[in-house]
Amino acid sequence: MLAMNKALENSFNKLLELEREIEESYLSFAHQLSVIAESYDETTGNHIERVGKLSAWFAEKLGLEPEKINKIRAFAPLHDIGKILVPNDILNKPGKLTDEEFEIMKKHVEYAGKLLGDSEYFEIARNIALYHHEKYDGSGYLKGLKGEEIPIEARIVALADIYDALRSERPYKKALSHEEALKIIFEGDGRTKPEHFDPRVLEILRENSEEIKRVWEEINNRR
């Protein structure tokens, strides 16, 4: 009986080690994909890293389980990985996109789903990439999901993505201050509206605005 228990214990430990190796392989692959995305679009490269870390910050504040927080941190940088298949002249256009160009741009979420495949381990990565442009009031794309229909990881990344985009300089816009970004998020500017975001995630931003400002600046200054 002791010998059998020992054999079972050894087998279990081997399975755990194999599981760790598989997980490390997936995380390594995710990191390489984020490097590709960053290299492909230097303008938003730093944005990719910041969104990952800010999303993990929101997930911690929401009290999600540690494993999910770690996956959100690892996979949030892949939210726009599908843009590597969008034509460069559209992706890097300095002015406003035409309606036709915007329809092409929106396909990056579909492309991301195909790039990430159907592995169960990449479920959170797919949810983020496919649904981070959905809006809480149902006005987003591509499926027009609403409220709790949108996976929580995508709702988190949606707000982290907008906050960082507002604070970042782009060829077509100047960087906004923390206070200017919050004003747009909480009051709206015609394009961005508070109704677009999960109220719980929005409240975390409101209650911890100075903390997220420090977090963002620490990440940004390390680059």
More confident residue, 18 or 72: 72
* Residue reference for tokens 């979420």: 109
**What confidence score (pLDDT) does residue 60 get?**
97
Taking the CA atoms of residue 110, residue 116, residue 119 and residue 122 in that order, the dihedral angle to the nearest 10 degrees is -100
**What confidence score (pLDDT) does residue 133 get?**
97
User: Region 8-12: what's the mean pLDDT?
Assistant: 55
**What confidence score (pLDDT) does residue 12 get?**
45
User: Region 166-181: what's the mean pLDDT?
Assistant: 88
H-helix or E-strand spanning residue 130 = helix 123-131
pTM: 0.85
Token readout for 162 is 């907008």
Name 67's bridge partners. none
Compute CA distances 146 → 121, 134, 136, whole Å.
Answer: 25, 7, 5
- Cα 27 to its chain centre, rounded Å, is 15
**What confidence score (pLDDT) does residue 212 get?**
95
Domains of the chain: 1-221 (1.10.3210.10)
Cα angle 178, 182, 183; round to 5:
120
Distance CA 17, CA 23 (A): 10
Residue 96: CB atoms within 10 A of its CB come to 8
